Amino acid sequence: MTALATALRDSARVVARVAAGASLAVEFERFVEGEAETSRAALIDLTHGTLRRYGRVQGVVRQLSRRERGDPLVEALLWCCLYAFESGRYADYTIVDQAVRACAALERWSAKGYVNAVLRGYLRQRASLEARLRGEPEARYQHPRWWVEALQAAYPEKWEDVLAAGNSHPPMCLRVNQRRSGVAAYEEKLAAQGIAARIVGDTALLVAQPMPVDRLPGFGAGEVSIQDAGAQRAAPCLELRSGLRVLDACAAPGGKAGHILELADVELTALETDSARCARLERNLARLGLRANVLNADCTRIDSWWDGRPYDRVLADVPCSGSGIVRRHPDIKWLRRHADLAAFALRQAEILDALWQVLRADGKLLYATCSVFPQENDAVIDAFVARQRAPGARAVRLPLGDGAAAQGLPDAERDGFYYALVHKQA
């Protein structure tokens, strides 16, 4: 079987599982570990590209098919083929031919004629399909209807830009380890290797063309890490200095923890509820030549991990909808439900109330999400400050000179992150 037919077969299997409610990251890694026929790059392109266009490819199949509910694997194959057409990486006739071959590889022999007819129908009706799809919000914007409506309400002048960013390919951003190199010096090192990049922050470099990390000079030696420019705002917001006692309460996979330790000689405790993610966090810190007290613990159960000594700084990078990073995790758009926002807000409030107890008087807590929904951001912080008014909680201005707002929206350079700094007045 040819490479494209194999890639279509494998991507259809992964996408079908995600459509049934599974996590793309989990399914992708599980599949790659068990199957070696498809290259990782081809599988990433087809699965992630298809899911970024999930609303659109579903709409196309609905327009072209007379079947109300088809075979999940066959539908997923059609979605992947439609993305392959739009990617421009393959000739149209090649995709149709290889899709029919993939039917056999999926043991869906009886679907060959149906798949052939739908794909050829798409090629004949492209222009008229575009007009029809414009009337379907999920197909047009490639996000769930509730998501579109929530962004329209929150950002009446920018909602379309946020949706477009969510459908784009994510940028590759590097964080230069200030203990090993300067950002300008590392930019020169990249240029010497023929890698184009530009500086977008004090420690951030935006790479023109994404690439495997093993191509980055000094990556294994800890000179540089992969971290979005928006995520790199967190550590400077903590106003770090040597000797402070710092808590990273939801730390895995360790990007922000590593950045904290690169910026200052602090005593860092890093918490993570999942043991496997704890191990990953420790590996990431070891690569950077950094050390922290890593604990496998739930930050809200303070009696199980806190030694009673208060922290000067607390980073609460809380669980959230992930709505600001959907181009990296395109399954999020389709796995989330509107009711999830309220559930996340309750968990976020629980975390804030617990961590406030371990913060010393005159200390500062940084609240962070990778969400663009106000229900998880301003609303949570406003309610928290109101609850903690007696102990002296006060939201303060972020100590950044880049002029960026607390709510960062995704764009060509960075993902969408939210930050709020709360001072515990003595």
CA distances from 114 to 1, 62, 81, 111, 361 (A): 20, 13, 13, 5, 68
- Specify if 44 maps to a domain: yes
Query: Is residue 385 domain-shared with residue 261, that is, in the same domain?
Result: yes
pLDDT interval class at 404 (50, 70, 90): low
Q: What pTM was estimated for this model as a whole?
A: 0.91
Query: Is residue 332 domain-shared with residue 398, that is, in the same domain?
Result: yes
Residue 387: which domain range?
231-424
pLDDT the model gives residue 27: 85
Asked whether residue 352 carries a pLDDT value surpassing 90, the answer given is yes
Give the neighbor-by-neighbor strand order of the sheet with 359-369: 293-296, 267-272, 245-248, 311-317, 359-369, 418-424, 393-396
Element of type H or E holding 17: helix 3-19
pLDDT interval class at 227 (50, 70, 90): very high
Asked whether residue 418 carries a pLDDT value surpassing 90, the answer given is yes
Q: Is 370 a catalytic residue?
A: yes
- Specify if 60 maps to a domain: yes
Contacts 24+ apart (CB under 8 A), 236-239: 236/202, 236/263, 236/399, 236/400, 237/366, 237/398, 237/399, 237/400, 237/419, 237/421, 238/313, 238/315, 238/364, 238/366, 239/313, 239/364, 239/399
Write out the two tokens for 284: 């990431």
- Specify if 149 maps to a domain: no
Query: Is residue 327 domain-shared with residue 254, that is, in the same domain?
Result: yes
- pLDDT, tens only, 54-92: 999 999 999 998 766 689 999 999 999 999 999 999 999
- Strand ranges for 125-203 from DSSP E: 172-176, 197-199
Strand partners, 393: 424
Q: Pick the catalytic residue from 80, 278, 320, 370.
A: 370
pLDDT interval class at 403 (50, 70, 90): low
pLDDT interval class at 405 (50, 70, 90): confident
Write out the two tokens for 169: 């390919």
- Specify if 160 maps to a domain: no
Alpha carbons 217 and 317: distance in angstroms, whole number: 30
Query: Is residue 258 domain-shared with residue 296, that is, in the same domain?
Result: yes
Cis status, amide bond into 144, omega within 30 of 0: no
pLDDT interval class at 201 (50, 70, 90): confident
Domain count, the chain: 3
Average pLDDT, the chain: 93
The domain that holds 57 is classified in CATH as: 1.10.940.10
Question: What's the chain's Rg over C-alpha atoms?
Answer: 23
Query: Is residue 318 domain-shared with residue 332, that is, in the same domain?
Result: yes
Query: Is residue 398 domain-shared with residue 276, that is, in the same domain?
Result: yes
The domain that holds 408 is classified in CATH as: 3.40.50.150
Query: Is residue 237 domain-shared with residue 281, that is, in the same domain?
Result: yes
pLDDT the model gives residue 208: 95
Q: Give exposure, 372-396, as e/b (b: 16+ Cβ within 10 Å).
A: bbbbbbbebbeebeeebeeeebebe
- Specify if 28 maps to a domain: yes
Query: Is residue 18 domain-shared with residue 32, that is, in the same domain?
Result: yes
- Are 156 and 208 in contact, with CB atoms under 8 Å apart? no
- Specify if 158 maps to a domain: no
Asked whether residue 390 carries a pLDDT value surpassing 80, the answer given is no
